[in-house]
């Protein structure tokens, strides 16, 4: 899961909220010193917000005496924007870190292999008691106190421009979820017909809508389930891949259908049940997504998270193991990230015009590269990302995305502290 810190309104399912953004370099693209927290060592003292920047909190994962541990450099931070920087020094049994409040996941970072560069995300937190959850650590839960209260209303033209963009972005998400619902229904109908070729086409058409808003909607858990229970986790039930299945839950969703349509080239009774279940779960997701509201840093964290998705799962070819339509998903992630950026752009230009222009150019670079893979005769309109194509092109794709990702990684803190 790679989701955002959001506030949801109304009752119903629990919105599992998480944030993902890769750590920036020592300076951003405008030449200003980085304040993401990456430069601070694991033992650095957390800084209080309210001095023009975010509070800093470092999380260090290590195995120094036979047990994996997850430690914080402070047990208290001031309310407001907080940048969490996570470093896995040597812990082999911990792969993710989550920020919890009343069992709700407010922030999450996954794929935390030992020795990788630190990663960070920024959230705006109100006063209260929180816990940092590191599954597999000893202990798994570490208490965190947030003191004071965060400002609840934007102040000034820049903040209002950012919040206006975040509010308008909700309509974009609703439209994409509705399109995904229509796509899932079309996939179910094609599967029911028994026409494998038609079902394959419907599968490709439905996928891109999920990928555009993946970082916004992948964190919902149904009523009656804990956030860590995949039986009620809609992201698991809709988009789980073969590489990370929960044996207690089994395989569900898009990729289970993909296996039958592309891997086995057949439609069975099980395929029909999976397609019907997928359609029903997307309908549930559509209703829940309408309860979301967004902060500007949600869009910034989400844009960076979508680019991280490209690097982790699309360029590697892991996402679409059977259909090889990874470039369709790649395009969806990039398009979704660009929309997040576009809705924030009026406010971002007031904060850092140079960085804003750099990001816009790097989006153009990635889009131009993707355009070279377009093929109207292929499913989803892009060439199949075969092992042969991956071998020759993956490195160039990754480098182009990384340049954009490096720029986007600075946005969440900038908009949260504007």
Domains of the chain as residue ranges with CATH: 7-153 (2.60.40.420)
Angle made by CA atoms 44, 302, 95, in degrees to the nearest 5: 55
Contact criterion met (CB below 8 Å) for 226 and 14 = no
Lowest mean pLDDT among 5-9, 279-283, 401-405: 5-9
Structural element, H or E, at residue 83: strand 80-88
Rg (CA), the chain: 21
Instruction: Say yes or no to pLDDT of 196 above 60.
Output: yes
Tell me: the pLDDT tens digits for 315-370?
A: 999 999 999 999 999 999 999 999 999 999 999 999 999 999 999 999 999 999 99
> How many Cα atoms within 13 Å fall on the side-chain side of residue 297?
30
> How many Cα atoms within 13 Å fall on the side-chain side of residue 78?
15
Beta strands in 238-340 (DSSP E): 292-293
Instruction: Say yes or no to pLDDT of 228 above 90.
Output: no
Rounded-to-10 torsion of CA 160, 164, 170, 172: -140
Higher pLDDT, 273 or 416: 273
Count CB-CB contacts under 10 A for residue 283: 15
Average pLDDT, stretch 213-233?
A: 85
Lowest mean pLDDT among 2-16, 204-218, 305-319: 2-16
Instruction: Name which of 257, 247, 258, 252 is nearest 235 in CA terms.
Output: 252
Q: How far is CA 7 from CA 17, 159, 258, 271, in A?
A: 8, 18, 33, 36
Token pair in block for residue 303: 């844009």
pLDDT at 121: 84
- Read off the pTM: 0.74
Count CB-CB contacts under 10 A for residue 311: 17
| Residue in the structure block whose two tokens are 């969806």 | 332
pLDDT at 103: 63
Whole-angstrom distance, CA of residue 44 vs CA of residue 39? 10
Instruction: Name which of 132, 137, 28 is nearest 93 in CA terms.
Output: 137
Helices vs. strands in the chain: H and E counts, helices first: 11, 13
Instruction: Say yes or no to pLDDT of 41 above 70.
Output: no
Tell me: the pLDDT tens digits for 115-141?
A: 888 888 888 898 999 999 998 899 999
Instruction: Name which of 278, 193, 275, 266 is nearest 238 in CA terms.
Output: 278
For residue 97, say if its preceding peptide bond is cis, omega within 30 degrees of 0: no
Is residue 7 very low, low, confident or very high in pLDDT (cuts 50, 70, 90)?
very low
Instruction: Say yes or no to pLDDT of 32 above 80.
Output: no
Instruction: Say yes or no to pLDDT of 200 above 50.
Output: yes
% pLDDT > 70, the chain = 86
Higher pLDDT, 47 or 88: 88
pLDDT at 153: 57
pLDDT at 283: 94
């Amino acid at each position: 899961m790679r989701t955002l810190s959001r506030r949801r309104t109304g009752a119903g399912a629990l919105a599992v909220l998480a944030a993902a953004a890769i750590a920036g370099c020592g300076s951003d693209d405008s030449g200003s010193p980085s304040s993401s927290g990456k430069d601070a060592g694991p033992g650095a003292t957390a800084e209080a917000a309210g001095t023009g920047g975010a509070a800093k909190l470092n999380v260090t994962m290590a195995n120094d005496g036979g047990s994996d541990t997850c430690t914080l450099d402070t047990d208290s931070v001031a309310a407001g924007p907080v940048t969490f920087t996570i470093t896995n020094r040597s812990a082999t049994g911990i792969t993710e870190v989550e920020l919890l409040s009343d069992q709700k996941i407010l922030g999450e970072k996954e794929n935390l292999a030992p020795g990788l560069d630190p990663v960070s995300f920024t959230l705006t937190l109100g006063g209260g008691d929180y816990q940092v959850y590191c599954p597999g650590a000893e202990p798994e839960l570490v208490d965190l106190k947030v003191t004071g209260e965060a400002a609840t209303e934007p102040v000034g033209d820049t903040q209002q421009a950012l919040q206006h963009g975040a509010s308008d972005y909700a309509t974009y998400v609703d439209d994409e979820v509705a399109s995904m619902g229509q796509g899932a229904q079309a996939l179910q109908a094609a599967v029911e017909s028994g026409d494998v070729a038609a079902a394959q086409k419907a599968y490709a058409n439905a996928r891109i809508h999920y990928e555009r808003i993946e970082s916004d909607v992948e964190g919902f858990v149904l009523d009656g389930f804990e956030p860590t229970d995949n039986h009620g986790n809609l992201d698991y039930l809709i988009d789980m891949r073969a590489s990370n299945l929960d044996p207690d839950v089994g395989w569900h969703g898009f990729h289970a259908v993909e296996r039958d349509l592309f891997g086995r080239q057949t439609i069975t009774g099980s395929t029909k049940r999976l397609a019907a279940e997928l359609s029903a779960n997307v309908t549930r997701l559509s209703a829940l997504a309408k309860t979301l509201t967004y902060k500007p840093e949600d869009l910034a964290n989400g844009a960076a998270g979508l680019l991280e998705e490209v690097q982790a799962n699309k360029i590697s070819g892991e996402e679409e193991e059977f259909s090889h339509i990874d470039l369709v998903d790649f395009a969806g992630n990039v398009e979704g990230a660009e929309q997040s950026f576009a809705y924030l752009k009026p406010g971002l230009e007031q904060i850092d015009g140079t960085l804003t222009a750099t990001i816009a150019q790097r989006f153009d670079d990635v889009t131009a590269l993707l355009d070279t893979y377009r093929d109207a005769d292929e499913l989803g309109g892009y060439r199949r990302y075969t092992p042969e194509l991956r071998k020759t092109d993956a490195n160039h794709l990754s480098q182009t995305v990384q340049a954009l990702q490096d720029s986007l990684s600075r946005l969440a803190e900038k908009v949260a502290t504007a």
